[in-house]
Amino acid sequence: MTFKIGLLGYGTVGTGTAEIILDPLGRNKLLQKIEIAKVGVRSLDKPRSPELPAGVLTTDLEAIVNDPEIEIVVELLGGLEPSRSLILTAIANGKHIVTANKAVIARHGAEIYNAANDAGVYVLLEAAVGGGIPVIKPLKQSLGVNRIQTVIGIINGTTNYILTQMTEEGADFDEVLAEAQKLGYAEADPSADVDGYDAADKIAILAAIAFGGRIKRDDIPCEGIRQINATDISYADDLGFVIKLLAIAKANSDKDSLQVRVHPTLVPKDHPLANVNGVYNAILVEGDPLGRVMLFGPGAGKGATASAVVSDIATIVGILQTNSTSQKLDPLLSCSHDHFSELTPITEVETRFYARFLCQDVSGVIGHLGMSFGKHNVSLESVVQIGFQDELAEIVVVTHNVQEGNFRQALEEIKNLDAIDSIPSIIRVL
Amino acid sequence: MTFKIGLLGYGTVGTGTAEIILDPLGRNKLLQKIEIAKVGVRSLDKPRSPELPAGVLTTDLEAIVNDPEIEIVVELLGGLEPSRSLILTAIANGKHIVTANKAVIARHGAEIYNAANDAGVYVLLEAAVGGGIPVIKPLKQSLGVNRIQTVIGIINGTTNYILTQMTEEGADFDEVLAEAQKLGYAEADPSADVDGYDAADKIAILAAIAFGGRIKRDDIPCEGIRQINATDISYADDLGFVIKLLAIAKANSDKDSLQVRVHPTLVPKDHPLANVNGVYNAILVEGDPLGRVMLFGPGAGKGATASAVVSDIATIVGILQTNSTSQKLDPLLSCSHDHFSELTPITEVETRFYARFLCQDVSGVIGHLGMSFGKHNVSLESVVQIGFQDELAEIVVVTHNVQEGNFRQALEEIKNLDAIDSIPSIIRVL
């Protein structure tokens, strides 16, 4: 007995998926039960590798999600539409879904999972976060028995590559971005990556699973890496930090609300995430009583992403093979919550800050900084005069944990001090 | 509807397991369906925390594995007997098994899994390897769609703690072992840990899952860390390595046989495993087309191990809840192989070596070393005169990849050279 699947899309991940399924020797034996029945593409004219039997390729995507013989639809189109509509039609037709599409789940997850629960089908998405790293299923099946405290991820390979190159070469952002675009690590329009939107989609998904409540994607404060420069990377290094784009989801101590945010962050060099370099991704999960677990691996790329896609297909086939009649979903693999988590506004989040000031009169300024920060309950861990730029002295401040709103108010006041020329950099500290 | 479980043993991991299940708020909702019906202990006199309702504690372990109301037996006794017999009786009675016992699975896995397959029950063992790190289920469900090439683990926390302390303090083995025993990180009889037997049990389990064939535990060459000393750690550091006790399972290029081995190893400092310190564990898996994934976390301890135990209980409860009637096992969670993998004898394994020689006449010796190694097809990556001990010069050699048998033959010859005083250290290099 074989199980028929239909692929929507036959680009990098689609062909990678077919390469695994069509060459099952030496892999899990279950793969031999999977038959690629239909593959939907935009045009039949392009040469395709691996080649598929005649009649498998089609431009009629609707026909795939309506094909009564297909039990699993694998959505690899990316983007919001037509992915969302095709997924919903497939679900309505009782088909299980495997997808690598973080955007459609982050934006339309509530609608999709409600439909899936009604229809009694699974929507699995291991490939949507962390490429080939097993993270979604471990969060659902293993780590979820803990009270999760934090999920912190380096989950965008492009920005991690850029920051790693900037750190190793002392180069500035634009230069490294151009190089990354030449190497194919960054898109011609790099916004989704470098402005943090991709990481925000992914942390929305991880937070929903880890904390058992849906996340309003638009409520996630998101700051990218365009403003990071060689100067701050070098000062951070002196202070014992590296700069990483982190996606953070954290239970507030009251336990009733979450903070979810994406921003560049100074990470202490002895932190496990500090050594995650290049296009690698890693997700750190802290829970009670587990402690700290980190999952590390290739966050993107054909083979890694296809590995995750096929693992989801195999998971569903394994279930179908043992349990073809039950309409009930395994609560460890399906979405069993339908409320939205309350997210803390960024102004109420507590974090440490690094800030760099350019100023004229160092001794006077330090006193004024101390006073302004003190007035707004911002206590300082260190104040260092660290260099000069042109005629101006550079002062770097690292705060203790402070409420972001208080810190911003203090900065407003400090900006207006006569001796302050400018505040070129403000970066959060882990 | 609740699912009744029986615990065999109520020591550290058993009480940790109860603490999670009895306090389910903020954890996966499925935990609310689990009822601890019976807990088997040696004596009823000791005070126990968490306290259990009257009648739950019993000294009659047989009664637990024969109780018709209990659906899952959680074996936390450790050791071979009575664990093996109790597990087999429970299986014969149609109960699913969750165990943290690497020894019984490494030694009696074939018998236990054959019985489980006949009875249509699961035997899950996430806690047996890597403590709280999700590794068994990810290997089965996610990574297994790849052609696995290597599994390399730092999977014994005691030895990793000792080696880390030796590295950081420049201290010798005996000293650090005594300290570790005082802190409770090492047993009074430390043999299972420091001689590598625990790591060998664990890599037998990982290799069986990763490569889909059973492993004869007694065929795993196993070398511990007693002979590692501050001198070699310091020389390794100079050469760009740290010393770790690695458990390695690797497909030979012919694909029909495996090498599985446990030994101290020089690990390049830029390798992901080099930064895994203290009692932390990590498992690195390389597969095609996935690439390299590393899973990192607490390898032991009450909370971490209990987290893994409860995740297995929840996995079975999830399946029972959706699929109470089927006798078929999900092939991704059960053992679907029954042959034994062929293991390469250590003499035929190819690896790099580090060897340290004490000798009288440096210039003469280097020539002789080169000749003896050359005669046995051992090619050298570097030969360094690195220090002095008393009147003797110390020479350190690092080889290219060589067949271990050839290397040992060359050493036999070199030992008899007049100018060679002794060969204090031979350590494999990753």
Task: Write the pLDDT tens digit of every residue in B194-232.
Answer: 999 999 999 999 999 999 999 999 999 999 999 999 999
Q: Is B95 domain-assigned?
A: yes
Quote the mean pLDDT of chain B: 95
E strands of A22-159, at which residues? 34-40, 57-58, 72-75, 96-99, 123-124, 147-154
Chain B residue with Cα closest to A142: B311
Same domain, B292 and B383: no
Q: How many angstroms separate the CA of residue B17 from the nearest CA in chain A?
A: 10
Same domain, A95 and A181: no
Q: How many whole angstroms separate alpha carbon A424 and alpha carbon A228?
A: 10
A162: enclosing H helix or E strand = helix A157-169
Identify the CATH number of the domain in which residue B240 sits: 3.30.360.10
pLDDT of A387 reads 79
Question: Most A CBs within 10 Å: which of B1, B20, B27, B293, as the mutation test of the A interface?
Answer: B293
End-to-end CA distance of chain A: 52
Whether the CB of A379 is below 8 Å from some CB of chain B: the reply is no
Q: Is B141 domain-assigned?
A: yes
- On whether the CB atoms of residues A355 and A426 are closer than 8 A, the answer is yes
pLDDT of A367 reads 87
* pLDDT level of residue B423 (50, 70, 90 thresholds): very high
pLDDT of B45 reads 87
Q: How many whole angstroms separate alpha carbon B393 and alpha carbon B412?
A: 20
Q: How many domains does chain A have?
A: 3
* pLDDT level of residue B68 (50, 70, 90 thresholds): very high
What mean pLDDT do residues B65-93 have? 97
Domain interval for residue B373: 347-429
Same domain, B264 and B240: yes
Same domain, B245 and B391: no
Question: What separation in angstroms does the CA of A241 have from each of A161, A233, A265, A398?
Answer: 17, 8, 9, 12
Same domain, B163 and B94: no
Taking an 8 Å cut-off on Cβ atoms, the answer to whether B318 and A330 are in contact is yes
Q: Which residues of B touch A302 (CB under 8 A)?
A: 289
Q: Binding site annotation covers A405?
A: no
Q: How many whole angstroms separate alpha carbon A37 and alpha carbon A25?
A: 20
Same domain, A235 and A254: yes
Q: Which of B286, B316, B337 is the last residue of a domain?
A: B337
Question: Most A CBs within 10 Å: which of B28, B133, B253, as the mutation test of the A interface?
Answer: B28
- Closest partner residue to A303 (CB to CB) among B142, B290, B321 is B290
Residue B28 in this model has a pLDDT that exceeds 90: yes
Chain A residue with Cα closest to B330: A318
pLDDT of B390 reads 82
Same domain, A63 and A206: no
- Closest partner residue to A145 (CB to CB) among B28, B133, B294 is B28
Identify the CATH number of the domain in which residue B324 sits: 3.40.50.720
pLDDT digits (tens, 9 = 90+) for B269-279: 999 999 999 99
Residue B95 a catalytic site member: no
Q: Which residues of B touch A332 (CB under 8 A)?
A: 28, 30, 314-315, 318
Same domain, B160 and B243: yes
Q: Is A343 domain-assigned?
A: no
Question: Most A CBs within 10 Å: which of B117, B322, B328, B337, as the mutation test of the A interface?
Answer: B322
pLDDT of A326 reads 67
Same domain, B144 and B209: yes
pLDDT by residue for chain A (430 residues), tens only, comes to 899 999 999 999 999 999 999 999 999 999 999 999 999 999 998 888 999 998 999 999 999 999 999 999 999 999 999 999 999 999 999 999 999 999 999 999 999 999 999 999 999 999 999 999 999 999 999 999 999 999 999 999 999 999 999 999 999 999 999 999 999 889 999 999 999 999 999 999 999 999 999 999 999 999 999 999 999 999 999 999 999 999 999 999 876 899 999 999 999 999 999 999 999 999 999 999 999 999 999 999 999 999 999 999 999 999 998 876 667 899 999 998 889 999 999 999 999 999 999 998 777 888 889 999 999 999 999 998 877 888 899 999 999 999 999 999 999 999 999 889 999 999 999 9
Identify the CATH number of the domain in which residue B400 sits: 3.30.70.260
Q: Is B272 domain-assigned?
A: yes
Q: Is B342 domain-assigned?
A: no
Q: How many residues are present in chain B?
A: 430
Whether the CB of A28 is below 8 Å from some CB of chain B: the reply is yes
Residues 92-151 of B with CB under 8 A from A: 126, 132-134, 137-138, 141-147
Q: Is A52 domain-assigned?
A: yes
- Closest partner residue to A147 (CB to CB) among B27, B308, B331 is B27
pLDDT of A324 reads 65
Same domain, B358 and B287: no
* pLDDT level of residue B366 (50, 70, 90 thresholds): confident
Same domain, B146 and B91: no
Q: Is A9 domain-assigned?
A: yes
Q: What is the DSSP letter of A30?
A: G
Same domain, A52 and A173: no
Residues 246-275 of A with CB under 8 A from B: 255, 272, 275
Q: Which of B267, B298, B329 is the last residue of a domain?
A: B298
Rounded to 10°, the helix A83-92/A102-119 angle is 10
Interface predicted TM-score (ipTM) of this complex, two decimals: 0.95
pLDDT of A408 reads 97
What mean pLDDT do residues B235-249 have? 97
What mean pLDDT do residues B116-143 have? 97
